[in-house]
C-alpha cells in the first residue's frame, strides 16, 4: 500500500499528465486541421477554414513541449502501478483517470462546436467531415486508453498499453514532421514579419500625408517634414532592418510614389488589400491625394513595372 506522501506524488504526475493531454490532443487536431485547410482550399476567404501558419506554429510548440511531458508522466504512473507503488484500486487514481476522460471530452466538445460553426458559416462539407472524423479519432484514442487502463489487471507488461505508447510516439512524430514540412522556417517567418512591418510603416506614411496636404495645400517635399510636423515618428520612415529611409518621390501636386525593398512577395497573405500587393525586391506604390470636401481621399496603386 502506498504512503500518503506517495499518493501526493502520484497525484502530481496524474495532474501533469492531464495538463499535457489537453495541449497534445489539441495540437494533434490543429496539425491535421491545417493540413486539411491547406489541401482543400475554400473558394472564398474564410476566417475559420483558411490555412494558418500561426496555429501550426503553436501546435508544433505544444507537441515539442507537452508531448514528452505527457509521455513521461504517464510512463511514471504505469511504472508505479507495475511496482505496486500505486494502488490500482485507490480512489484517487480512479478520480483522476475520470478527470482525464473529462478533459479529453471537453476538448472534443469544444472542437466539434468550432468545426460545426465553421460548416454552418459556409465551410466545405468535405472539410467539415474530415475535421469531425479527426476529433472522434483523437478523443476515441485517448478515451480508449484511459478506460482500458481502469479495467486492466496486468500492470507489469500490458500489450494494449504498450501499443498505445508506441502509437502515441508515432502519431506525435508524424504530426511534427508534417507540420515542419508545411510551415515556414523561423528565418522565413522573421523575414515575413519584417516585410509586414515595412508595409505597415508605408501605410502609416500614406495615412499621415493627407493630413499634411489638407493643412498645407501641398505634399511634403521630404518625409522628414511629417516628423517635424509631429504627424509621425521618425523611425516609421526607415526600414526596420537597414535603417534606410523609404524612397519618396513627388509625381505631381496631388500624387507621389513611395518605395521599399521587400524580402518576399505577399500575394498569398490572408485578407490583403490588393492595393498593397508587392513582389520580392524593390516595390513602389503610387498614391494620389485629391480633396473631396474637407478631407483628402487617398488612392493607392502598386506600380507594376517594378515587379
pTM, two decimal places? 0.74
DSSP symbol at 268: T
Instruction: For residue 96, give the nearest of 156, 12, 152 by alpha carbon.
Output: 12
Instruction: For residue 17, give the nearest of 85, 100, 87 by alpha carbon.
Output: 100
- Residue with the three cell numbers 505631381: 252
Residue 266 CA to its chain's centroid (Å): 18
- Residue with the three cell numbers 486539411: 36
In the chain, how long is the greatest CA-to-CA distance? 89
Instruction: For residue 269, give the nearest of 260, 279, 259, 261 by alpha carbon.
Output: 279
* Neighbouring-strand partners of residue 135: none
The length of the chain is 307
Q: What is the pLDDT along the chain (307 residues), one digit of tens a residue?
A: 445 456 777 788 888 988 898 899 999 999 999 999 888 877 766 656 678 888 999 999 999 999 999 999 998 888 888 887 777 777 777 888 888 788 778 878 888 898 888 888 888 888 889 999 999 999 899 888 888 888 887 777 678 888 888 999 999 999 999 999 999 888 998 999 999 999 999 999 988 888 888 888 889 999 888 888 777 888 999 999 999 999 999 998 888 999 999 999 988 777 778 888 898 999 999 888 876 544 445 567 677 544 4
Amino acid at each position: 500500500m502506498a504512503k500518503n506522501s506517495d499518493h501526493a506524488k502520484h497525484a502530481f504526475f496524474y495532474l501533469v499528465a492531464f495538463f499535457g493531454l489537453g495541449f497534445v490532443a489539441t495540437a494533434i487536431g490543429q496539425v491535421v486541421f491545417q493540413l486539411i485547410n491547406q489541401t482543400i482550399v475554400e473558394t472564398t476567404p474564410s476566417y475559420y477554414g483558411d490555412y494558418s501558419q500561426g496555429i501550426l506554429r503553436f501546435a508544433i510548440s505544444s507537441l515539442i513541449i507537452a508531448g514528452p511531458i505527457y509521455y513521461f508522466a504517464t510512463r511514471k504512473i504505469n511504472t508505479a502501478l507495475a511496482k505496486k507503488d500505486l494502488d490500482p484500486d485507490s480512489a484517487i487514481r480512479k478520480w483522476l483517470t475520470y478527470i482525464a476522460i473529462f478533459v479529453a471530452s471537453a476538448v472534443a466538445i469544444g472542437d466539434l462546436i468550432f468545426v460545426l460553426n465553421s460548416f454552418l458559416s459556409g465551410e466545405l462539407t468535405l472539410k467539415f467531415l474530415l475535421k469531425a472524423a479527426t476529433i472522434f479519432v483523437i478523443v476515441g484514442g485517448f478515451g480508449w486508453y484511459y478506460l482500458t487502463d481502469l479495467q486492466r489487471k496486468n500492470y507489469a507488461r500490458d500489450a494494449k498499453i504498450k501499443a498505445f505508447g508506441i502509437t502515441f510516439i508515432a502519431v506525435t512524430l508524424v504530426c511534427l514532421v508534417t507540420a515542419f514540412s508545411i510551415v515556414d522556417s523561423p528565418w522565413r517567418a522573421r523575414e515575413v514579419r519584417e516585410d509586414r512591418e515595412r508595409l505597415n510603416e508605408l501605410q502609416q506614411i500614406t495615412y499621415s500625408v493627407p493630413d499634411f496636404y489638407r493643412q498645407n495645400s501641398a505634399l511634403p517635399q521630404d518625409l522628414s517634414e511629417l516628423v517635424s510636423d509631429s504627424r509621425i515618428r521618425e523611425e516609421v520612415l526607415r526600414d526596420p532592418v537597414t535603417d534606410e529611409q523609404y524612397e519618396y518621390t513627388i509625381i505631381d501636386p496631388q500624387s507621389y510614389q513611395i518605395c521599399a525593398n521587400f524580402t518576399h512577395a505577399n500575394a498569398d497573405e490572408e485578407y490583403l488589400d490588393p492595393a498593397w500587393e508587392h513582389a520580392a525586391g524593390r516595390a513602389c506604390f503610387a498614391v494620389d491625394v485629391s480633396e473631396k470636401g474637407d478631407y483628402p481621399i487617398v488612392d493607392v496603386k502598386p506600380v507594376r513595372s517594378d515587379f
